Amino acid sequence: MQNTATPTHCPYCALQCGMNLTATPEGTVEVSERADFPVNRGALCGKGRTAPAVLSSGVRLTSPLVRSEGTLVPASWDEALDRIAEGLSRTRTEHGPDACGVFGGGGLTNEKAYTLGKFARVVLRTSQIDYNGRFCMSSAAAAGIKAFGLDRGLPFPLEDIPKTGCVILVGSNLAETMPPSLRFFNELRENGGTLIVIDPRRTKTAEQADLHLAPRPGTDLALALGLLHLVVAEGRVDEEYVRERTSGWEEARAAAMAHWPEYVERITGVSVPQLRETVRMFCEPESAMVLTARGPEQQSKGTDTVGAWINLCLAAGRAGRPLSGYGCLTGQGNGQGGREHGQKADQLPGYRKLDDPAARRHVAEVWGVDPDSLPGPGRSAYELLDALGTDIKSLLLMASNPVVSAPRAAHIEERIKSLDFLAVCDVVLSETAALADVVLPVTQWAEETGTMTNLEGRVLLRKRAITPPEGIRSDLEVMHELAARLGVEKGFPTDPEEVFEELRRASAGGPADYSGITYRRLAEENGVFWPCPAAETDDSEDASLDVRGADDPAQEQDDDLAAAVHPGTPRLFLDRFATPDGRARFVPVVHRAIAEEPDDEYPVLLTTGRVVAQYQSGAQTRRVDELNAAAPGPFVELHPRLAERLGAAEGDPVAVVSRRGRAVAPARITTAIRPDTVFMPFHWAGEGRANTLTNPALDPTSRMPEFKVCAVRLETVRG
């Protein structure tokens, strides 16, 4: 395995860029270009290039830790695992199964996410499981299911983007958050297509655009409705498409017509000529796409907002047709797969619903348990964290750092501290792990094999390239050991391929059907797009393993069998949508205000997001020198007019105060932001923690918190 390059994938974002890894004789790991993977064709951002730095023993956890007289001290695996099993059993005995909580992450492989969901429901029998993906794209998922009957990030591969006529990017700064993907948008423009970017800031992405609209944060819903109004008023509705392929148009149209362009201009700050220009650019070409990211989604009306953008696509006949459609740019490495296989509060594997009796029967059979023993749906991520220390007494946390990344973080930090028992599995001592009673050090991406599902719905194999250090175990081994200690000896294998084989069966027949996908196929193809049902002739697991066998000399003659292999589904909805009648559903939505409008006391809007050199809560990337040099700490981005009123100069510490708390960071003064808005990245803990300020107002459908807008005031800091 060592010394030769292993083709694998990046540990971080949803592009899941391909890379080659080589272990050097000196014991380090080198990243080299892997040109064959179509998503990035060799290109990597700085995070991916420097990812091996987190594998070194200087920064990672190397031993289990247990709390003893207030401090975390090294312990044996047996002691640490015993303590976790004891902590969870005691809670269950004293307070019942729902007093044990589980919190997962969208960075976990499909195998881990699947096993974590099963662990919660079969071993702990708790309904209280959710994950950080709820903070990420749950609003887009909810809107996609409403409209199309199915939620998959992009309904087409990224390589379709250069060939469409126009892309509207709503609240995505992909030049910083997915840098290698910018290539597709540059090619779009080289081919004569146009790019429209909607962002309150003139970001690096907006600088590439043919048209940049800078709405007031939290007004994307009104913006989309105003555009739909104009599509109707200008006679640009694709009547035939609406008749043949959609339902609910009349209600949605009536709702949109209340949003006159002048009214929308007043709400959003986007001028009527700009609205008209957007409609023209979107409707005139043969094909067009709308892509959303966290900007419009992380709002207390994110689901309706995405729904309004989908309505626009449907009215203009731009969905379920070649080179046209609505897509959501997912975020974490396995943000897509992580929510398909059961770590979400209301889901079972295969994107089945936990409250659907047929789904419960199917999955219970695969798990060998009584369907009635499966708990029902639990709380959403913020609600779960908010219940720590009250209804939920013990928490098992895997792959998230909510002390930094949850909204109203000071409150959540207090809730975490009030737990009877906290166990954290991580690769580093994150701010959340530092509060735990037991911390388990787990293997990382390069040291273990697993599947990931990228933003295109492409399931890919992230292969182990190096041997993990002594004393580290995988998340799968941890769950196996804990299950055994809690009395469930079987059903928690430690071999990822074995887990995947079970996941295939559990997902079979569900919306996210992986049953036709095998490790062997993934090793040979550059990923397979779900849904990919097993071929009809293939009723044993082994048969499909053999179908595409490269080293099978008889394969040439196996054409019949090969033809029976489902090719996967790169493009969705071309013939029909995934609704019962095959039609896409319009949703009648109307504009509503943000949860916390500015007032005299808190007159400025705060929005939050990312910078290119740091990842998420920073737990991993803040441990990489090169990335820290590029992005050393938090900042408050503000317009010169606002800075002048405040009396702050570039680099001066500025206090940002909301109803939840106060954060301090240096001023970064730029005309690239609206004068009524400040921006803070959320990658840091401590004084500059953006989430001390954010508002946990939840979207009623998706339960997504309003990370993207709250009311604040600014103060200068003396001394």
Which of 17, 84, 108, 466: binder of ligand MGD (CB under 6 A)?
108
| Residue 678: exposure state from Cβ atoms within 10 A (0-12, 13-18, ≥19) | buried
Asked whether the beta carbons of 373 and 364 are under 8 A apart, the reply is yes
- Residue 16's binding partner among ligand MGD, ligand SF4, Mo ion, none (Cβ under 5 to 8 angstroms by kind) is ligand SF4
Segment lying near ligand SF4 (by CB under 6 A), choices 9-17, 298-306, 361-369, 661-669:
9-17
Asked if 306 touches ligand MGD (CB under 6 A), the answer is: no
Helix or strand holding residue 286 (H, E): none
Instruction: Show Cβ contacts of residue 160 under 8 Å, excluding neighbours closer than 6 positions.
Output: 323, 571
For residues 288 and 164, what is the distance between their CA atoms, to the nearest angstrom?
6
Which of 44, 231, 312, 328: binder of ligand SF4 (CB under 6 A)?
44
Asked if 682 touches ligand MGD (CB under 6 A), the answer is: yes
Q: Which residue is nearest to ligand SF4 (CB)?
A: 48
In the complex, minimum distance from the CB of residue 447 to Mo ion, in angstroms, rounded to a whole number: 24
Asked if 282 touches ligand SF4 (CB under 6 A), the answer is: no
Interaction residues for Mo ion, span 323-342 (CB under 5 A)? 331
Which of 110, 126, 515, 607: binder of ligand MGD (CB under 6 A)?
607
Which of residues 178 and 589 has its CB atom nearest to ligand MGD in the complex?
Answer: 178
Asked if 307 touches Mo ion (CB under 5 A), the answer is: no
Asked if 48 touches ligand SF4 (CB under 6 A), the answer is: yes
Please state the φ and ψ torsions of residue 446, each to the nearest 5 degrees.
-70, -10
Which segments within 64-146 are labelled E, that is strand?
65-68, 71-74, 100-104, 129-131
Asked if 13 touches ligand SF4 (CB under 6 A), the answer is: yes
Asked if 178 touches ligand SF4 (CB under 6 A), the answer is: yes
Which of 111, 220, 238, 447: binder of ligand MGD (CB under 6 A)?
220
Which of residues 6 and 299 has its CB atom nearest to ligand SF4 in the complex?
Answer: 6
In the structure encoding, which two tokens stand for residue 76, read together?
Answer: 């044996």
Which segments within 33-97 are labelled E, that is strand?
65-68, 71-74
- What separation in angstroms does the CA of 43 have from each of 184, 332, 625, 649? 12, 18, 21, 38
Please state the φ and ψ torsions of residue 447, each to the nearest 5 degrees.
-105, 5
Segment lying near ligand SF4 (by CB under 6 A), choices 99-107, 176-184, 221-229, 523-531:
176-184
Asked if 99 touches ligand SF4 (CB under 6 A), the answer is: no
Please calculate the CA angle 500-505-507 and round it to the nearest 5 degrees: 90
Site size toward ligand MGD (CB under 6 A) is 64
Asked if 620 touches ligand MGD (CB under 6 A), the answer is: yes
Segment lying near ligand MGD (by CB under 6 A), choices 130-138, 155-163, 253-261, 645-653:
130-138
Report the SS3 class of residue 201: strand
Segment lying near ligand SF4 (by CB under 6 A), choices 44-52, 112-120, 233-241, 469-477:
44-52
Helix or strand holding residue 196 (H, E): strand 194-198
Asked whether the beta carbons of 379 and 663 are under 8 A apart, the reply is no
Asked whether the beta carbons of 493 and 27 are under 8 A apart, the reply is no
The alpha carbon dihedral of 107, 110, 115, 118 has a sign of positive
Which of residues 11 and 402 has its CB atom nearest to ligand SF4 in the complex?
Answer: 11
* Omega prior to 632 cis, within 30 of 0: no
Which of 10, 122, 306, 388: binder of ligand SF4 (CB under 6 A)?
10
Which of 12, 37, 351, 586: binder of ligand SF4 (CB under 6 A)?
12
Asked whether the beta carbons of 530 and 459 are under 8 A apart, the reply is yes
Asked if 175 touches ligand MGD (CB under 6 A), the answer is: no
Which of residues 107 and 180 has its CB atom nearest to ligand SF4 in the complex?
Answer: 180
For residues 459 and 593, what is the distance between their CA atoms, to the nearest angstrom?
38
Asked if 105 touches ligand SF4 (CB under 6 A), the answer is: no
Segment lying near ligand SF4 (by CB under 6 A), choices 6-14, 30-38, 282-290, 362-370:
6-14
In the complex, minimum distance from the CB of residue 335 to Mo ion, in angstroms, rounded to a whole number: 6
Q: Which residues bind ligand SF4 (CB under 6 A)?
A: 10, 12-13, 15-17, 40, 44-45, 47-48, 178-180
